[in-house]
Amino acid sequence: MTSEEIIKRLKENAKPYEEYFIDPEVMEAMYHIANGSELIKPILELIGNNPTVDFGSPGYLVHFVESFYGKDYIELLINSVKKTPTPHNIWLLHRCYNVDRDNNIYKKTVMDLKNADTTPIEVKERIEYFDWD
């Protein structure tokens, strides 16, 4: 299965107000694709573009993208949060913050969102829910 086929299948399973489900065949393909890191950005876009989907806590997609922590993941996550902030990707950012509290980029990102007039109220509430100090 190609990365395009994987992403297509992942997008097809995003149903508003429902728990996200990944076919075992797609999961297997994700872990056996030659360059799995190329799936990070499209997965983060999927999460950002579907704020009403229950992706789990943390869920399979989170486990997959976090397996690339320390590579391209942080930068891609921050860019995704800035572009399309959702409660779920704020939660992903806070998970990174818990690992690396000395990195001020996480706090700066959420404070900029918290102070922006265009940030959805549910995102601001999620930011306030977490401890960023």
3-state SS of 74-117? Answer: HHHHHHHHHHCCCHHHHHHHHHHHHHCCCCCHHHHHHHHHHHCC
pLDDT at 69: 86
- Whether the full predicted model's pTM is greater than 0.85, yes or no, is yes
- The residue ranges of every structural domain in the chain are 3-129
d(CA 11, CA 102): 35
Half-sphere exposure (CA, 13 Å, Cβ side) for 130? 24
How many Cβ atoms are within 10 Å of 92's Cβ, its own excluded?
22
Neighbours of 62 (CB within 10 A): 19
Residue segments in the chain with a per-residue pLDDT below the cut of 50: none
pLDDT at position 50 is 93
